[in-house]
Chains A and B, each alone.
Chain A
Amino acid sequence: MTAPHRLVVEDLQVCLAGTRTDVVSEVDFEVAPGEVLGLVGESGSGKTTVALALLGYARRGLHITGGRIFLDGRDILGIDEHELPALRGGKVAYVPQEPAAALNPVRRVGNQIAEVLRVHEGRADKDSDVAGRVREVLAAVDLPTDRAFLRRFPHQLSGGQQQRIVIAMAFACRPGVIVFDEPTTGLDVTTQRHFLELIADLCATSGVAAVYVSHDLAVVGQVAKAVAVMYAGRIVELGPTATVFATPEHPYTRLLMRAVPSLDKAEVMEGIEGLPPRPVSRPAGCSFAARCPDAGPECLLSPPAKADISESHWVRCVRVRRDAQDLSGRQAIQPTSVSQTRPAVLEVEGLRASFGTNEVLHGVGFTLPEDTCVAVVGESGSGKTTLARCIIGMHTNWLGSIRYEGNELSNGARQRGKDVLKRIQYVFQDPYTALNPRKTVGQLVAQPIAHFYGLPRAEADARVVKVLEDVSLSADFLNRYPDQLSGGERQRAAIARALAAEPDLLVCDEVSSALDVSVQATIVEMLRHLQAEHRLAMLFITHNLALVRGIAQSVIVLSQGRIVEQGPVEEVFERPRDPYTIRLMSDAPRLSVAATGSARVPTAGARRPEEG
């Protein structure tokens, strides 16, 4: 018999419909009332599939084929079809990724919360009850409860408020389980931190068992008591967050943590080579064996069984606690001092950019010396992308001056000379839209070579191969189309296209934000090498403060269209002066357990908890 609101998942399996190919298998975990379990994994690991299965739901093309999910002692996979609507939203609530998409834009927020109650509690006749409960849950999520607020429409609320409304809806019916599916994506760090605290609080006080799905280890660390790491459809490690972060036992967990950039040290980030196997092509043995530095012959034989480390901590690895390679410590990057004497490649002065009459950059000025990487950090809406787009000539509505090697640049790319266009190259944020789906990688990379240099065919082809080599793509990729590439490979191809023009200045706009952590590390590390090798000037735009330390020599902090702080990376990170920068630093999630208050990335591997 299980205790109330205890969630127990046993041997859950989800398959591709009509086949015996499992997408998710052998998933076991328990969540005690009031606790939050973090479900961490990279894209394709099956974390969302598990999350949805908790609602008795499988996405189109998938089918829940085995296992049991007990809530309050009842198996929710065994209940009748007609009981499902009462389950979903009533007993198990779901908080989706995009709050704006989850709210009906034409209905007032008060009504939307009340609707959940009316549907599930059948209290349509007792309007005062419903209204009372609506106020109660709004108060619980720290939102105003007055009539005026209840009558607002979703678009009249900020992103953070919208997300709170969705949370209020989830808690409204006093569910036993709440599933959070990466609900903080798109929120800025301060909102995110408050939001995570709110979730942890609410779950604890209302005795809800919560599952928090995320790709971000640091975020999970802030909210979850226990963490389950998923890889290729299986949980590979499960344990208390503090223990897992301090002494990760599975090689995948260890490598994943090494891929997370550090806010506190300039270190070489290490990605994980290779790609996870897809559901249809998983090997007979351990799914991670192919990428695992520790893998031995026994790993290829059969899927590893659970091995207990302690009562609450287990790992799915046969070599655990046995002659594991020491993965501790990351190589530190020697801080290169920013020499003020280097001539500036790019000088920006009094840049004021607008959309229509709405000014979003209010007099931004900085210089970018040659052979230097300058990072521009800011939250969404700070104007960092607009700044990049003004520099490359994509956003034309600006005043002020942008000088490239002393020459004033015209507003739009169309008015600029071919030489300038060639020398300033831009890498787009989203590799999924930056490559023409009708062209092969070879054609895409050859395009700027043909356009800027007009080389003969053979020479151009040789150059394409060389540029692809620079981004570690083999010649096999020449004839592949973008949809045959993974996200990381696409971004490499996009970077190759920019490098093919042989630029002096590379503007990278959030190039890693659409990628998994392990891929992000590889891409950023690659950019760092390319920058040094080709002696590029680089403008690295990101919302992720931690990435900055691994790549840039100097940093610009942008807030609401103004530069609030700029200087060498070391100085700004160690001794931030502007209150905004200080807040940004303290609110950024770190790879540590919130409770310990420690702000250190555990750089130690399996056996040593931490080094100074």
Chain B
Amino acid sequence: MSRPRSSKKLRRHEWLTLLHRAAASRRGIVGLSLAGFVVLVAVVGAVWTPDSPTAFLYDPLQKPSVQALLGGDYLGRDVLSRVLGGGWVLLVMAVAATVIGVCLGAFQGIEAAYLGGRTDTMIMRGMDVFLAFPAIVLALLIVGTVGPKLWLIVLAVGLGHVPQVARVMRAAALDIAERDYVKAVELQGVKPTRIITGEILPNLVSPLMVELGSRLTYSIVIIAGLSFLGFGQQPPAPSWGNMISENRIGLQTNPWAVIVPAALIALLAIGTNLFADAVARAAIGADRQVEQAFVRTEAAKASQ
């Protein structure tokens, strides 16, 4: 019957459409508001904190009061200021690690799928070896030997994503690489890199978006975890992971110093995960929804 004629906007900016559709679903709204709240806290904290996050203002582990809304930490610093100021570095690092991991992984995966044969085997078996180390152990290994440099943590976490992303993207690209339109360009003698970026990649926007979303969640959890273990921003700089670790001793005296950063990390991870899920659902349902919308609008036009 009639074929859906998708709008130009969908063609040109599939990623925008996906985001738009994901943000319209209930799952997406919840995810976006959770993550949005945490991001807001971190961004506000980046430019303004009520007190200096590193100044010793109160008694150690002082209970919350009017001056200190969340009380003091184990050294008597203002917990609220530390909470506000301790998030943005985590966000930046998580985003950077995700981008690095997904870009590298996607390229490796598509390359393996497209070139096939020995290249495929070499790339993917290499990835398997990589995959044998859990991401966090790998990151610990690298950071533990070289030292807790932030860029190194980002790189380590990003690299940790590569094998997983490569696998997903390879699977998605295998189908596309076999299509006639790829062959048509291949027959002109166009270079493989141009075929990958010009012909295959534009058809992989959906899986790429889904990967970005889910990897972001992993990045947040791993980076916060490393920070908890002491591999992250070094004291006295505030960071949520760090705060949980250092204020554990005062859990009974001033629990807020642990609960608040822990809750923020959890909300952020849950939020991004929910939103990533919404994007994935939008990507799967994309075609059917477009078709239904098309049928509805055309039918409405016809009945006028």
Contacts and interface: CB of A to CB of B under 8 A. Distances in A.
A281 B11 contact: no
Contacts of A416: 189
A436 B198 CA distance: 10
A434 interface: yes
A413 B190 CA distance: 10
A447 B203 contact: no
B72 to A, nearest CB: 57
Interface string B203-218: 1000000000000000
Interface stretch (A17-25, A207-215, A360-368): A17-25
A494 B183 CA distance: 13
Contacts of A281: 298, 302
A155 to B, nearest CB: 22
A481 interface: yes
A116 B8 CA distance: 48
Contacts of A357: none
B20 to A, nearest CB: 18
A44 interface: yes
Contacts of B184: 426, 428, 434, 494, 497
Contacts of A19: 299, 302-303
Interface string A474-504: 0000000101100000000010010001000
Nearest to A281: B302
A434 B189 contact: no
A26 interface: no
A394 B188 contact: no
A16 B299 contact: yes
B295 A437 contact: no
B52 interface: no
A421 to B, nearest CB: 5
A392 interface: yes
Contacts of A484: 5
A436 B189 contact: no
Contacts of B3: 483
B203 A418 contact: no
Nearest to A48: B1
Interface in B166-201: 179-190, 199
Contacts, number: 86
A21 B303 contact: yes
A467 to B, nearest CB: 15
Interface in A141-175: none
Contacts of A430: 180
A414 interface: yes
A451 interface: yes
Interface string A414-447: 1010100110001010100111111100000001
Interface in B1-34: 1-6, 8, 11
A436 B181 contact: yes
Contact of B1 (A279, A393, A418, A501): A279
Contact of B187 (A16, A49, A394, A481): A394
A44 B180 contact: no
B116 interface: no
Interface string A385-404: 00000001110000000000
Given A16-B295, A23-B1, A434-B181, A452 B188 contact: yes
B290 to A, nearest CB: 10
B285 interface: no
B2 A280 contact: yes
Contacts of B118: none
A451 B1 contact: no
Contacts of B188: 421-422, 447-448, 451-452, 501
A331 B222 CA distance: 76
Contacts of A21: 298-299, 302-303
A120 to B, nearest CB: 31
Nearest to B5: A484
Contact of B299 (A280, A393, A436, A501): A280
Nearest to A44: B1
A27 to B, nearest CB: 16
A413 B189 contact: yes
B13 to A, nearest CB: 11
A451 B187 CA distance: 11
Interface in A47-91: 49, 61
6 contacts: A19-B302, A393-B187, A414-B189, A433-B180, A437-B203, A483-B5
Interface of A: 16, 18-21, 23, 44, 49, 61, 278-281, 392-394, 413-414, 416, 418, 421-422, 426, 428, 430, 433-439, 447-448, 451-452, 481, 483-484, 494, 497, 501
What are the nearest 6 A-B pairs in CB distance? Answer: A438-B202, A19-B299, A436-B181, A280-B298, A434-B180, A280-B302
